[in-house]
Chains A and B, each alone.
Chain A
Amino acid sequence: MTLHTKSLTEELADWLAQGGRRIGEIVILPSAEGWEVRHVDDAESPATSLTAHKTPEAAREISKYDAAGQYRPLKGAPNLVHGWRLILDTTASLRDALDFFYPAALGNWVAFTQGRATPSPIRETFARQTGMYRITGLLDEDDCRAVVADNCAYATNCRRRIAWPVAAGVPFDNLPPEKTNLEPAPDEMPVLCLHACSLLVASARTYIKKKRAAAGQ
């Protein structure tokens, strides 16, 4: 039994053929060599003003630190550095590079749009934690709304768009629309968040410990 009718590289090629150009903070431009990836703010910059790279792995290094030299464990953070261009000769190489800039974004989007991905409601994610994170199971629905609003802000913290509700049948009602809009502009592939990341789980732990301490528990 074959899982997919098309490979992820073929899915990417289809998206590009239909005019797909943007993912998160990057833009993909057709070029004589194949494809050129840039920070979206550098789309109009003269090529000579940008540092050229030619391997997919360069994307891993470009996306590792922010402009201040701080480590970027969260690739959805809206602080991708400027000043580079990545020239790739095949769509397969482009796919590899995308998985370094926005890990799993292509696969998540394809699986989600094909109905093969089931996002975890945030309370389920917290409830299944064990060890030091087991305490996150104590967050109630309002706690979840507060933690997500504080930590996942689209404009300042993370460009992933959350596909999960607070609990089954309980959508978020306190987030700006871009955070939960899973179908942005036609030329943009949304960077989907199908399951809360470990940074959010860690923040939830800090939140509930503080709350319980304040309540004398």
Chain B
Amino acid sequence: MADSSVSSSTWRDAALVILGHGSTQNPDSSTPTWQHADELRRRGLFREVQCAFWKEEPGFREVMHMIDSDHVFVVPNFISEGYFTRDVLPRELELQGPVTHAGGRTIRYCDPVGIHPSMTRLLLKRAAEIAPGVPPSEISLVIVGHGTSLNENSTAAIKSQVELIRASGAGFGEVVDAYMEEEPLVARWDELTTAPNVVVVPFFIADGLHSYEDIPVLLGLTENSPGAISANQGEVFRRNPYALRGRQLFYSAAIGTDELMADVIMDQVAAAPQESTSPAA
């Protein structure tokens, strides 16, 4: 958590840069990142707050030209550590390590939001909101990821959250992880769970094809009809609960759309890497 040498007084003279993936196809992909940036701007904690994206503008290579501050905190709005946070972002931002000194600037590269333990808080809140009045003991909570080598560490981030929620005392009947493209497959959600109520939360940064269409089809909420569901987009989240396979299923929007993600970004800023002991000249 917060460290004395990277304090809130430092933030007020610093820039926060939130990095997202973005999309050239899905207009909702960058929306949560912008919303979290707007919220953090409103709080006035930083001198300036900017966003940059891999697939949208501004791009990673131009965002540093958009800020005035000499101190910069960079937070990847990504769900896990992996190819993007370890290879692409450092390369495109020309980072030298956790702390970079370049052009008179100090850039602190924080961990991605999805691996912060405070994501647990969001998942618990989301589960309570989506199935109001249902006792946790009668809920199986399913946290869904993509799986496969596309993002080798997303499964690790989800498994970690499953353990944290089990240990949290929240009292869920059970908490399990499931994936679109690897075992345990989310398509077998009824075999993976036993409680009469099943809450399914996609562990993604934004809503898009996966949460609007792919996962609902795998769950059996909708038929596979490309285009038809995209046209309605968020509609699939508004039809809860679904009576399916003898259970009551509640389906959530992507966890990254939660407004509390702004707090997780701040948690990662508070945990920012320290000044190296021998900064470059």
CB proximity to B under 8 Å, residues A66-87: 71, 73-76
Residue of A nearest to B83 (CB): A131
The interface bits of chain B over 48-59 (1 if a CB of A lies within 8 angstroms of the residue's CB, else 0) are 001000111111
The segment from B65-73, B187-195, B265-273 found at the interface with A is B65-73
Query: B59 touching A99 by the CB < 8 A rule?
Result: no
Question: In the complex, A128→B88 CA distance in Å?
Answer: 10
- The answer to whether A74 and B57 touch across the interface, beta carbons within 8 angstroms, is yes
Q: Is B163 an interface residue (CB 8 A)?
A: no
CA distance A14 to B153 in the complex (A): 48
A199: Cβ under 8 A from any B Cβ: yes
Binds B, one of A38-46, A57-65, A136-144, A145-153: A57-65
Given A2-B104, A3-B105, A197-B57, do A104 and B62 touch, yes or no (CB 8 Å)?
A: yes
Q: Which single member of B27, B57, B105 contacts A103 (CB below 8 Å)? A: B57
Distance A64 CA – B22 CA, assembled complex (angstroms): 13
Contacts of A93 in B (CB 8 A): none
Q: Is the CB of B87 within 8 A of A130?
A: yes
The smallest beta-carbon distance between B85 and chain A, in angstroms, is 13
Q: Does B24 contact A (CB under 8 A)?
A: yes
Interface residues on A, range: 35 or more
> Are B104 and A104 in contact, with the CB atoms below 8 A?
no
Q: Which residues of A contact B27 (CB under 8 A)?
A: 64-65, 71
Q: Which residues of A contact B83 (CB under 8 A)?
A: 131
Is B61 touching A103 in the complex (CB atoms < 8 A)? no
B38 touches A111 (CB 8 A): no
Closest residue of B by beta carbon distance from A202: B24
Pairs A–B under 8 Å by Cβ, sample size 20? A4-B68, A8-B67, A64-B27, A65-B27, A71-B27, A73-B22, A73-B23, A73-B24, A73-B25, A73-B57, A76-B57, A104-B62, A104-B63, A104-B66, A108-B62, A130-B88, A131-B88, A195-B61, A198-B59, A202-B24
Given contacts A99-B58, A107-B65, A202-B24, list 19 more A-B pairs with CB under 8 A.
A2-B104, A3-B70, A8-B67, A57-B38, A71-B26, A73-B22, A74-B24, A76-B57, A104-B57, A104-B59, A104-B66, A108-B62, A111-B65, A116-B65, A117-B65, A128-B91, A194-B62, A194-B65, A197-B59
